[in-house]
Copies of this chain bind each other. A is one copy, B any other.
Amino acid sequence: MSLKMRYNIDHKSPVPLHAQAEQMLRELITEEEYQNGKNIPNEVDLAKMLAISRTTLRMAINKLVFEGLLVRKKRAGTKVATGAVSSKSNNWLSFSQEMKLRGIPIKNFELHVSWETPDISLAHFFDIKQDKPVLKMKRVRGRPEEPFVVFESYFHPRVGLTLDDDFKRPLYELLEQEHSVIATLSKEEISAISASKEIAEKLRVPVGSPILFRKRFVFDQGERPIEFNVGYYKADSFVYTVESRR
C-alpha cells in the first residue's frame, strides 16, 4: 500500500499542512523498517505524494531533525537517528519524570521531612535569621533493587511548605500547583567526592567509594532563593549532561 493511501493530508482541515505532515512522519518512523535505518522517501517524491510543496514538507522534517529524531545527509537521504529520543530541555529539574522517560522505575527508600535551624551559610543564602526554622526534606531514591542517590533539600520559609504537604508528588509540581512557586533558575556545582560513612551506608557501597556530588541553588522568577539542595549520586549511576554555546 502506498504512503499516499495510508497517510493523506487534508487540505481543508484547519490544522496546518506542515503540522499534519509532521504528525504523519512521526507515525511513519515508528515502523520497523525505518527504525532499522531505511531512508524515508526523498523530499521531492514525498511532497508529491502528500500533495504539498517541498517547502512545507521541509518545515515538518526540520522540526523532527531539530528534535534529533531524524538525520539528514546530502545525497544519502533522511533517516531515523540512531540512539533515538533525547528531548532535553523539557522536564527541567524533575528527577522522577526524567527517570520515567528513560524507563527507569524509581523507588523512594527513605523520606524524612522536618523543621531544622539553618546553619550560617544557609541562612545567608536564604537571607533569613538563623533562628528562623526551615523545612528540610531528605530522600534516598533509586531503582527498586538498589538506591543510587541521597538528596537533601532545604526550602525557604517563603514558599510555604509544611509537614502537611504531600512530598510523594513530583516536587516542582507540588511547588507550582500548591504554592505558586515557579523554579526558574538553578546554579549548580558538581564535583567528585569519597563516600562518607553515612552516605556509604545509605547507598550500600564501601566507605570511600566515588560519589558524584551536586549542590544546587534554586531561584524563582524574581531571582529570589527558594531551595538549596545537595545530591550524592553513586558512581556510574548518573551522568550529568550540559550543552553550552558561545
Contact = CB atoms under 8 A, between A and B. Distances in A.
Given A210-B193, A210-B194, A211-B192, A187 B241 contact: yes
Interface stretch (A7-15, A109-117, A139-147, A231-239): A231-239
A238 B185 CA distance: 23
A245 B87 contact: yes
Interface in A189-246: 189-194, 208-213, 221, 233, 235-236, 238-246
A208 B243 CA distance: 29
Given A209-B210, A235-B210, A243 B185 contact: yes
Given A194-B209, A210-B194, A243 B68 contact: no
Interface residues of A, number: 42
Interface of A: 62-63, 66, 68, 82-83, 85, 87, 89, 92-93, 183-194, 208-213, 221, 233, 235-236, 238-246
* Smallest CB-CB A-B distances: 4 pairs: A210-B210, A192-B212, A190-B240, A192-B235
20 contacts: A62-B62, A66-B66, A83-B185, A83-B221, A184-B246, A185-B245, A186-B244, A187-B242, A187-B243, A188-B242, A188-B244, A189-B240, A191-B212, A191-B240, A192-B192, A192-B210, A193-B236, A194-B210, A194-B235, A208-B208
